[in-house]
Amino acid sequence: MSVHAAPAEIASLDTRFADLDLADRLSLAASLGRAVFTTSLGIEDQVITAAIGTHRLPITVSTLETGRLFHETVDLIAETEGRYNISIERFRPQQDAIDAYAARYGLNGFYDSIEARHACCHVRKLIPLAAALSGAEVWITGLRRGQSGNRAATPFVAFDTERNLLKVNPLADWDLETIKAHVDAQAIPVNALHGRGYPSIGCEPCTRAIKPGEPERAGRWWWENDEKRECGLHVPDNTHGTPAARNAAQPGPVSLATENGCR
C-alpha cells in the first residue's frame, strides 16, 4: 500500500489490524514500507520491541536520547539490545541547539512557561524525531487509548499528514493490565521506575510518580494545568513551530549551563 493511501484504504487497513495479534500487526506494518519504531523504553514500548526482536521483524528500532533521561531508562537500552540481539538507534539533540535554548530560557526554563517547555521538547525530541524518521514510510508507536483522555480515540493506523507517512499504533486497544500480564508472561525487561509509581516515563526533570487514583500520564509535566498536555511528538506541530520554538533550536551564544545530574 502506498503511504499516500486514500482515507477509505486507511480505514480498511485499520479494520484489518483489529483482528490480528501483536506479531501479525507488526508484520503487516512492516509490509507497508520502510518501518521505524520509536521507543521511549516505557512498558508498552518494551512489549513492541520484544515482539520485533523475538520474531526478527524488519523494523528499525530507534529512541530519542534527549540528554535528560533517567539513568534507569538509559541502562534499559543496552539491556534490551542484549536480551533481543537487536540494535537500538540513538538520536540525540544538537549541542548548539541546547546551548541556544539555555541562553534564551535557562537550562530548566521549561518550568517557567508553556512556551519554554514546548521549545525544550522541540529541541530535545522533535528535531531528533525528524532525523529518526528520515526516509521512513511507516512510523510505529506505543500509543494506547487508555493512556490519557487525549489518546482515547487512537486508531490502529492513520496517515500523518505532517510527516507524510503511515502511523501505526499496534497496542491501541491494549489496556495497562493486559500489558503487565504480557510482560510477566514473556519476562520482558522493563524500566525499574514502573515499580516506583511511574507508569509513564519521560525526561527526569519533567516526570514524577503519580498519586493513587491519578491517570497514567498525570506525572508528565505535572506543573501544567492542561490535562491534554503533550510534548508534540503525537500532535500537529503547531505550538512547536512557533517562532520561539524555532529560535530556540538555532545556534546561539554558548551557555555556561550544564546538564549535571539530569538525564
Residues classed as catalytic: 231
218-223, Cβ contacts within 8 angstroms, sequence gap of 24 or more: 221/117, 223/111
Angle between helix 7-18 and helix 22-31 axes, rounded to 10 deg: 150
The Cα 51–Cα 46 span in angstroms is 9
C-alpha cell, 123: 529541541
The Cα 61–Cα 75 span in angstroms is 16
CA dihedral sign, ordered 147, 39, 233, 36: negative
The Cα 54–Cα 8 span in angstroms is 33
The Cα 179–Cα 200 span in angstroms is 13
The Cα 84–Cα 149 span in angstroms is 33
From its phi and psi, is residue 213 left (phi > 0), alpha (psi between -120 and 50) or beta? left
* Residue 190, C-beta contacts closer than 8 angstroms, at least 6 positions apart: 43, 46, 76, 183
